């Protein structure tokens, strides 16, 4: 993950976060150097090296694992991108859809920034191309007055277009990808006297992500669906696996923020357990009402990072369960009064059932004060 104090090679200005191709530039260079596998036209790495970049190099740990679980899915995603269909990553919020899409684009085309962020207000011009109106009025339509959007740039450069949250765009806007994906050609009727279309260079493809549970999403047309292979990202199974993932991500983030709070594994296991029980609506056989909010791994990571920052800046050395509970409300439960009531009920049950555990009592005390 990007370091807060990292310098971008282009500007040497400090950046809050670097795109994956810069954050992992050394790993990508090493993979390229050693890569002798077959490489699809337009790709910077072979599919095998792309896999190693995302899933890690195993025991030698030269290349860190970046996506946990979902190994077979990652392989299928890579293979999909070698073909004529786009890749659609769907699933619950916080299951690393955006992260995987960024890593694939960084490894395959060396640029993860050709991105469209879907939303109700997105129009086709922001995706395909627009015009510099001063030049358009002066010289008329021509290559100089055309302002390429991410789709145009990806096609012209043989790169990957990342279309985030595609289902937040209205169906008509989503459908501008249909002819592009089938014919690999973008019509530019305004340039009828020059070259009225752009052909996609080898390497071009589309990775879209869609969140199927959120409100405010639009249907995808059958025509669009046919042009994509769908992969469903799932949350990690098991409390221990969750706790390990939270621990790794939190450790990385704390180093980047230069925060030295001590975070013990047992505290992370407690956090993963609380998330698991709230998601499942079950505490040791007792059913509870499930909060309506999304309680993903990404939310758990935020809770732990905020709690660790609180300790660091307000003078405590070690993260305690009480800190986690205090941030769980604002970070994950958010503004819904019903969810707050459900969380309070969860704390009441935990307080009764786990009276003998100091850690859980500390957690309950922190939550009650929040
Ligand atoms: N299986 C996983 N492997 C690695 N990291 C994960 C995994 N699941 C969640 N994460 C963590 O969660 C963070 C958030 O993931 P990301 O933003 O990619 O999710 P998303 O599926 O795009 O969510 P949303 O639908 O809200 O956009 C990641 O940066 C990573 O730290
Ligand atoms: Mg996302």
Domain residue ranges of the chain, discontinuous segments joined by + = 20-233, 239-369
Architecture of the domain spanning 20-233: 3-Layer(aba) Sandwich (3.40)
Cβ of residue 301 lying under 6 Å from some atom of ligand 1: yes
Cβ of residue 109 lying under 6 Å from some atom of ligand 1: no
Cα separations (Å) of 237 from 51, 59, 69, 241, 362? Answer: 21, 22, 8, 7, 26
Give the pLDDT of residue 1. 42
Cβ of residue 224 lying under 6 Å from some atom of ligand 1: no
Instruction: Give the residue from 164, 169, 184 showing the smallest Cα distance to 85.
Output: 184
Helix (H) or strand (E) segment spanning residue 164: strand 160-164
Instruction: Give the residue from 17, 205, 217, 210 showing the smallest Cα distance to 95.
Output: 210
Cβ of residue 119 lying under 6 Å from some atom of ligand 1: no
Cβ of residue 44 lying under 6 Å from some atom of ligand 1: no
CA 92, 117, 252, 53 torsion: positive or negative?
positive
Cβ of residue 249 lying under 6 Å from some atom of ligand 1: yes
> Ligand 1, residues 56, 64, 98, 167: which to mutate, most atoms within 8 A of Cβ?
98
Instruction: Give the residue from 68, 17, 75, 66 showing the smallest Cα distance to 46.
Output: 75
Distance in Å, CA 298 to ligand 1 centroid: 6
> Ligand 1, residues 19, 99, 105, 296: which to mutate, most atoms within 8 A of Cβ?
99
Q: Which distant-in-sequence residues (6+ apart) come within 8 Å of 304 by Cβ?
A: 246, 250, 263, 268, 271, 319, 324
Which atom of ligand 1 approaches the CA of 296 most closely? 9
Dmax over CA atoms of the chain, in Å, equals 80
pLDDT averaged over consecutive 10-residue blocks of the chain (370 residues)? 49 84 97 97 98 93 92 98 97 94 98 97 96 96 96 98 96 95 96 94 98 79 96 92 95 94 97 96 93 90 96 95 94 88 95 96 91
- Give strand pairing partners of 77: none
Distance in Å, CA 102 to ligand 1 centroid: 11
Which atom of ligand 1 approaches the CA of 165 most closely? 27
Let me know: does 342 contact 288? Beta carbons within 8 Å. Answer: yes
Please give the structure tokens belonging to residue 170. 């209205």
């Amino acid at each position: 993950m990007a370091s807060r104090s990292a310098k971008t090679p282009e500007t040497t200005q400090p950046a809050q976060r670097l795109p994956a191709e810069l954050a992992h530039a050394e790993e990508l260079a090493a993979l390229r150097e050693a890569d002798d596998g077959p490489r699809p036209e337009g790709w910077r790495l072979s599919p095998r090296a792309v896999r190693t970049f995302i899933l890690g190099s195993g025991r030698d740990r030269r290349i860190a694992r970046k996506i946990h679980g979902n190994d077979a899915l990652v392989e299928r995603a890579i293979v999909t991108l070698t073909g004529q269909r786009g890749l659609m990553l769907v699933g619950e919020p916080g299951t690393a859809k955006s992260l995987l899409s960024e890593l694939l684009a960084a490894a395959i085309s060396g640029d993860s920034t050709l991105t469209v962020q879907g939303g109700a207000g997105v129009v086709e011009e922001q995706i395909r191309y627009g015009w510099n109106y001063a030049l358009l009025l002066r010289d008329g339509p021509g290559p100089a007055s055309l302002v390429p959007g991410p789709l145009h740039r990806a096609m012209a450069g043989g790169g990957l277009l990342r279309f985030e949250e595609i289902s937040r765009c209205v169906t008509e806007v989503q459908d501008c990808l249909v002819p592009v994906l089938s014919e690999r050609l973008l019509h530019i009727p305004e340039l009828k006297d020059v070259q009225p279309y752009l052909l996609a260079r080898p390497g071009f493809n589309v990775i879209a992500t869609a969140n199927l549970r959120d409100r405010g999403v639009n249907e995808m047309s059958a025509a669009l669906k046919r042009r994509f292979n769908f992969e469903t990202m799932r949350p990690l199974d098991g409390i221990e696996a969750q706790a390990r993932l939270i621990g790794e991500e939190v450790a990385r983030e704390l180093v980047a923020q230069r925060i030295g709070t001590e975070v013990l594994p047992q505290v992370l296991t407690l956090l993963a357990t609380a998330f698991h029980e709230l998601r499942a609506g079950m505490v040791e056989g007792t059913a509870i009402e499930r909060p309506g909010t999304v309680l993903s791994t990404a939310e758990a990571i935020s809770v732990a990072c905020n709690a660790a920052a609180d300790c660091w800046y307000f003078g405590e050395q070690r993260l305690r369960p009480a800190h986690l509970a205090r941030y769980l409300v604002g970070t994950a439960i958010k503004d819904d009064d019903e969810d707050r009531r459900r969380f309070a009920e969860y704390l009441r049950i935990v307080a009764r059932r786990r009276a003998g555990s100091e850690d859980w009592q500390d957690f309950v005390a922190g939550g009650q004060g929040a």
